[in-house]
């Protein structure tokens, strides 16, 4: 993921760790566009890394390799069983059980609760003691876009890290331009039926989904603006001339209603992203809708 986007938050976190002031409970809050979960994962990797660099995990030690393989025994994820469901007391008890058993081992245990507002009341109550008196060297990270939905007793036991919302234009400027150009070319190929929406979904399901959805959203937004007023490009200083040309070409295939439909689809996806939905399925739907640009 592109850490330039949450640089401030990242510096704050690594500084807390470097100066031995890491609290045992952190609450990552901020709007849905803030990439709290991925920062939590990256921070977990950094804490667990055996040969950390100044500001990052090495990416190469045994711990980092276990992490990349999604197989690190000291990283515990607490999530709802299914999208939109609650995190239940049994799940919290199972987590505490693991922490109790392993608390005598050296090194950190990182717990990420995502989304923390999915904790129901019983589950929240079961977690309180652990938030207050951690078992061993533990750091519990709660991620939430709706912190008001968290019990006050949970919130008050965590140190809050507020993530700033991402500015769309900065986002484009900091995004890998090679990937961006490739995406624009692939969207063009979708319309020309040079690639199928299934192939498109397969390819892009492997990318960082939060970044990808943000990019697609900006692309669809700007296509809509161009469709409504070709002069809108004067304000597009986040895209290069060549990219604007490509966007205009793409936009001309669509009517505004269709673009609004695509945009809405992306917004919906973003709302449910914290519940780990099947992205390949979503991208298939998006690709299908995109490839049928002229039909309505
Ligand atoms: Zn490492």
CA of 48 to the centre of ligand 1 (A): 7
The model carries a pTM of 0.65
CA of 33 to the centre of ligand 1 (A): 28
CA of 60 to the centre of ligand 1 (A): 5
CA of 286 to the centre of ligand 1 (A): 36
CA of 41 to the centre of ligand 1 (A): 13
Domains of the chain and CATH, by start: 7-162 (3.40.50.300), 168-291 (1.20.272)
What count of Cα atoms within 13 Å lies in the side-chain half-sphere of residue 71?
4
Q: Digits of tens for pLDDT over the chain (296 positions)? A: 555 568 889 999 999 999 999 999 999 998 766 778 889 999 999 999 999 988 889 999 999 999 988 899 999 999 998 767 899 999 999 999 999 887 666 789 999 999 999 999 999 999 999 999 888 899 999 999 888 999 999 999 999 999 887 666 677 777 788 899 999 999 999 999 999 999 999 999 888 777 788 889 889 999 999 999 988 888 887 888 999 999 999 999 999 999 999 988 888 887 775 555 678 888 999 999 998 876 54
CA of 13 to the centre of ligand 1 (A): 17
CB-proximal residues (5 Å) to ion ligand 1:
49, 57-58, 61, 64
| Bond prior to 115 in cis (omega within 30° of 0) | yes
């Amino acid at each position: 993921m592109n850490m330039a986007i949450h640089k401030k938050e990242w510096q704050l976190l690594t500084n807390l760790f470097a100066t031995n002031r890491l609290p045992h409970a952190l609450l990552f809050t901020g709007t849905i566009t803030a990439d709290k979960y991925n920062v939590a994962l990256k921070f977990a990797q950094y804490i667990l890394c055996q040969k950390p660099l100044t500001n990052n995990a090495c990416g190469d030690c045994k711990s980092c390799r276990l992490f990349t393989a999604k197989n690190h025994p000291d990283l515990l994820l607490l999530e709802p069983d299914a999208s939109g469901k609650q995190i239940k007391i049994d799940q919290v008890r199972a987590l505490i059980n693991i922490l109790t058993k392993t608390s005598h081992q050296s090194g950190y245990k990182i717990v990420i609760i995502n989304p923390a507002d999915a904790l129901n009341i019983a589950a929240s109550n079961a977690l309180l003691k652990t938030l207050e008196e951690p078992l061993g060297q533990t750091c519990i990270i709660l991620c939430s876009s709706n912190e008001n939905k968290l019990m006050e007793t949970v919130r008050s036991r965590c140190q809050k890290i507020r993530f700033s919302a991402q500015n769309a234009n900065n986002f484009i400027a900091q995004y890998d331009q090679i990937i961006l150009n490739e995406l624009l070319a692939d969207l063009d190929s979708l319309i020309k039926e040079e690639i199928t929406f299934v192939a498109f979904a397969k390819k892009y399901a492997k990318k960082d989904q939060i970044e990808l959805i943000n990019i697609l959203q900006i692309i669809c937004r700007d296509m809509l603006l161009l469709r409504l007023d070709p002069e809108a490009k004067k304000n597009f200083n986040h895209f290069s001339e060549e990219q604007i040309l490509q966007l205009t070409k793409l936009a001309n295939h669509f009517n505004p209603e269709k673009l609004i439909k695509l945009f809405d689809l992306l917004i919906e996806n973003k709302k449910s992203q914290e519940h780990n939905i099947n992205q390949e399925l979503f991208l298939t739907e998006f690709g299908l809708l995109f490839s049928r640009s002229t039909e309505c």
